[in-house]
Amino acid sequence: MNISQLKKSITTLINSNNTVPKKLQLICDFLKYEVEHYNWVGFYFKNGDKNELKLAKFSGEPTEHTIIPFGKGICGQVALSNENFIVPNVNAQDNYISCGFKVKSEIVIPIFVNGENIGQIDIDSHAINPFSKTDEILLEFICKKVSEIL
């Protein structure tokens, strides 16, 4: 993974003249196809005043998990903890919402606007333990860039 090239491409997508929803979709598509171990990429955002997340844009197999209550699953836990969550093996997690038998690991990074956790990027992988510090750095960069356009 060439993180500097990926960051450059993401910056180009963010700075494009597309709408915010289109930019989010382009980021999802780009990451899914450019990073081999990213099999599903999506953005969840706080659903108004409700204590739940709502799926915005994604790339990968459709999911029935379009609404996730705070505290439920990895995404719901990140909504409460405000911290990155890397799950090397989803089968070892008690509070995991299964998105399909192919998913083996997950990484979720929160998005902050004015210090408030307003959403997150969620990545699923079909490999066990594929995520490294490099993935975390890249996704934190993306979340910061996304926060600037929201």
| % helix, strand, coil for the chain, step of 5 | 35, 25, 35
Q: What percent of the chain has pLDDT over 70?
A: 100
Domain 3-147 listed as CATH 3.40.50.300:
no
List C-alpha distances in Å: 106 to 22, 29, 42, 86: 24, 17, 11, 6
Average predicted confidence (pLDDT) for the chain: 96
Q: What is the pLDDT of residue 82?
A: 98
Find the mean pLDDT for residues 133-147. 98
Instruction: Give domain limits for the chain.
Output: 3-147
pLDDT band at 5 (very low <50, low <70, confident <90, very high): very high
* 114-126 per-position pLDDT tens digit: 999 999 999 999 9
Q: What is the pLDDT of residue 1?
A: 81
- Global pTM reads 0.97
* 59-110 per-position pLDDT tens digit: 999 999 999 999 999 999 999 999 999 999 999 988 888 777 899 999 999 9
